[in-house]
Amino acid sequence: MQLSAHFPQFNKGQLSNLAGLGTPLLVMAALGMVILPMPAFLLDILFSFNIALSLVVLLITVYTLKPLDFGSFPTVLLIATILRLALNVASTRVVLLEGHKGPDAAGKVIEAFGSVVIGGNYAVGLVVFLILIIINFVVVTKGAGRISEVTARFTLDAMPGKQMAIDADLNAGFITQEQARDRRAEVTSEADFYGSMDGASKFVKGDAIAGILILFINIIGGLIIGMVQHDLSFDQAVEIYTLLTIGDGLVAQIPGLLLSVATAIAVTRQNTSQDMGEQVSDQLGQSKSLYIAAGVMFVMGIIPGMPHVSFLLFAVFIASGAYLMDFIKKNKAQVVEKDQAELDQQTKQKEAEVKELSWDDVNHVDVIGLEVGYRLIPLVDKAQGGELLSRIKGVRKKLSQEFGFLVPAVHIRDNLDLDPNTYQISLMGVTVGEAEIRHDHELAINPGQVFGKLEGIPTKDPAFGLEAVWITQNQREHAQSLGYTVVDAATVLATHLSQILTNNAAQLLGHEEVQNLLDILGKSYPKLVEGLVPDILPLSTIVKVLQNLMNEGVAVRDMRSIVQTLVEYGPKSQDPEVLTAAVRITLRKFIIQDIVGAAQEIPVITLAPELEQMLHQSMQMAGDDGAGIEPGLAERLQKSLADGAQQQELDGHIPVLLTSGILRTVLAKFVKYTIPSLRVISYQEIPDDKQIKIVSVVGQ
């Protein structure tokens, strides 16, 4: 039955507005009690309301699932404290003005607490009141205040870490934007709540101190007023005003004690969605501990001279409680097991059903994949201080600037099939790199000359194969003083990834990337790109040309020159190798600058004329990529080129092989994997402003 059916003049909006007037009315009422005199009857009503409010607050604190569910508790605590202090002022006024008329002058509630609760004995009442003050101030309030302070401090200190954990889960795809927003709001609310509770606990502490002061002020003031103004004897004044003051103090201190207990419960609760009764019963209801306690109580109960009935009664009670807890847990476990069995059966039935396949069931390989063992997860978890994600982002940015196109994203996942400290790098689903690292160590790499040995785990740098040692962080300065290059595990992995992507750059450049490059170029040079695809060349041919360039270590940053060459030579030939050679000639200054920089002289290795002639004939006979080179000749050629390249590297130069345009493509493929540092260029690729310096001739 709805309230609006009986009161049609109120709609839901008006009722909610009326409900919002409660707090302002209580504050105004507290101010009124401080200023205006209150009749005894109204004091009885307000004291009863104060006790009821304290009980309600205490019970709400007990039965809320989480402390944040009662987030308005600090405000309620402040209002209840102000109301109680205002009642103290109002009751003090009545006690001092009307106390000489008798015990009921300040109302029935104060009379009841002064006569019934303490038996009309003001000495007993004074002792009881002081005990309540000690319990409230020294024990409950002081402990709750300390817990509030520590909890607020720890909650604020943990706030940045929780925010980072939320960001990490969001970046990893574990939660959605809405879930992340809700979790951030919950973290903020938690910090605000415990910060407010730290301040609110000071109100309760101050209220306890005020109770002591009000007690002595009322007793002293009552004695003076009773003896001076109303001609009462000292004994009469002490009896009347002390009983009224103690009754007034007890009426105020009991709600204060209830609110102090509520405050202590709120700040000592675990921030979990579980009823407090369930928490206590689950954690205290350990049958083993209960049976031992029952045994101890039974032994104490049968000792001569001990109160047998009470001890034996509690021994039976505790043992019965332990048996009952075991029985309940056993039944609950059977129910859970039965429900789990039914759920498993339903799952098996669903899996047994034939489901039509769709394209969503097809798993496509990642362009770049990184799988890590479980011990390397801290490297990619920002919440644990992992820096690998930022390092990989830096590697992608650097390589994208060097290559001239956007390097695809790296898909990172954990793989329990790998060894715990192992990672794998894959391209197009094929593993191209694998190594074992230690995330809690640092790698000291031997650059070629060091001045001592290090204690640690010997290994090799996965990127370049250099001798290295895994050391602890406190050995870093010592290793550097010996000449080692020291890097952390995230840098080792990122460097290895960078080296692999550099060596396999051509695989990263596909049709989509090339089309994006042409679209970007078309924004600045629309006439140049217009009609290139498909009128002059198909997109697949352009992709092949750019891949050839990347395979030979030539970046595609100068797309304007590349496309100009393709537009010029495309109508003459559709052969990617011919077009690649033409583009290389166009980019010759860029290629040579990458090798020797601004130097005017180019140190090169050349082939003897007889050897070049022999290789030409072999190519004409084979007709493809130099496959007709005689094996013995190929072996001797490879060894001679390797020796020449090594000598150039020792001289501090990038090894360069200079040959004819016909042989350049074949020899570039010939040495790509056997001598990766050797650059092969043709005579046509030498700029006019550069000079050649022949450092060795192969075949003489």
3-state secondary structure of 348: helix
Report the C-alpha gap between 114 and 564 in whole angstroms: 105
Distance of CA 486 to the CA centre of its chain: 28
* pLDDT class of 518 with cuts at 50, 70, 90: very high
Residue 368's DSSP bridge partners are: 410, 427
Please write the tens of the pLDDT for every residue from 129-184.
777 777 776 777 777 777 777 777 777 777 777 777 777 777 766 778 788 788 78
Of 456, 478, 503, which residue is a domain's last? 503
Same domain? 618 vs 677: yes
* pLDDT for 165: 76
Report the C-alpha gap between 70 and 189 in whole angstroms: 11
Residue 698's DSSP bridge partners are: 607
Average pLDDT, integer, range 508-531: 91
* pLDDT for 563: 93
The CATH number assigned to the domain holding 685 equals 3.40.50.12790
**Does residue 652 sit within a domain?**
yes
The two counts, helices (H) then strands (E), for the chain are: 27, 12
For tokens 């709400």, name the residue.
Answer: 60
Residue 86: pLDDT over 70: yes
Rg (CA), the chain: 44
Of 536, 555, 586, which residue is a domain's last? 586
Query: Worst-scoring range by mean pLDDT, 96-110, 405-419, 477-491, 550-564?
Result: 96-110
* pLDDT class of 487 with cuts at 50, 70, 90: very high
Contact between 442 and 472 (Cβ < 8 Å): yes
Same domain? 415 vs 301: no
More confident residue, 492 or 344: 492
3-state secondary structure of 602: strand
* Number of structural domains the chain divides into: 5
Task: Give, as one character, the DSSP assignment of residue 554.
Answer: -
Same domain? 492 vs 557: no
Contact between 102 and 47 (Cβ < 8 Å): no
The CATH number assigned to the domain holding 513 equals 1.10.8.540
Average pLDDT, integer, range 343-364: 64
* pLDDT class of 202 with cuts at 50, 70, 90: confident
Same domain? 469 vs 375: yes
Residue 16: pLDDT over 50: no
Same domain? 263 vs 208: yes
The CATH number assigned to the domain holding 445 equals 3.40.30.60
> What percentage of the chain reaches a pLDDT higher than 70?
83
Report the C-alpha gap between 426 and 364 in whole angstroms: 13
Strand locations in 463-551 (E): 467-471, 485-488
**Does residue 451 sit within a domain?**
yes
Which is nearest to 462 in space by CA: 441, 488, 435, 489? 435
The residue type at 539 = L
Same domain? 420 vs 523: no
At 637, phi and psi to the nearest 5?
Answer: -65, -40
* pLDDT for 312: 80
| Helices 559-569, 511-524: inter-axial angle, 10-degree rounding | 100
* pLDDT for 360: 65
Q: Taking the CB of residue 403, how many other CB atoms lie within 10 A of it?
A: 21
Contacts of 206 (CB under 8 A, 6+ apart): 81
| Helices 122-134, 177-228: inter-axial angle, 10-degree rounding | 150
**Does residue 363 sit within a domain?**
no
State the Cα angle at 264 between 263 and 265, rounded to 5°.
Answer: 90
Please write the tens of the pLDDT for every residue from 438-473.
988 999 998 888 888 888 999 999 988 889 999 998
Residue 33: pLDDT over 90: no
Same domain? 121 vs 229: yes
More confident residue, 442 or 236: 442
The residue type at 595 = I
Give me the domain span that covers residue 324.
285-336
**Does residue 171 sit within a domain?**
no
Of 488, 503, 518, which residue is a domain's last? 503
Report the C-alpha gap between 389 and 334 in whole angstroms: 46
Residue 315: pLDDT over 90: no
Tokens (6 digits) for 214: 């009000």
* pLDDT for 188: 79
Q: Taking the CB of residue 329, how many other CB atoms lie within 10 A of it?
A: 13
* pLDDT for 10: 45
Same domain? 541 vs 621: no
Residue 668: pLDDT over 80: yes
Same domain? 305 vs 431: no
Question: Mean pLDDT in the chain?
Answer: 79
State how far the alpha carbon of 608 is from the alpha carbons of 6, 464, 605, in Å. 112, 33, 10
Residue 271: pLDDT over 80: no
Tokens (6 digits) for 603: 């140190």
Same domain? 494 vs 615: no
* pLDDT for 274: 56
**Does residue 157 sit within a domain?**
no
Contact between 257 and 140 (Cβ < 8 Å): yes
Same domain? 466 vs 533: no
Residue 106: pLDDT over 70: no
Contacts of 496 (CB under 8 A, 6+ apart): 425, 433, 435, 462, 463
* pLDDT for 132: 74
* pLDDT for 622: 59
Report the C-alpha gap between 315 and 321 in whole angstroms: 10
**Does residue 57 sit within a domain?**
yes
* pLDDT for 187: 78
**Does residue 352 sit within a domain?**
no
* pLDDT class of 23 with cuts at 50, 70, 90: low
**Does residue 51 sit within a domain?**
yes
Residue 17: pLDDT over 60: no
Tokens (6 digits) for 226: 């009773």
Same domain? 209 vs 312: no
Please write the tens of the pLDDT for every residue from 239-259.
677 777 777 777 777 777 777
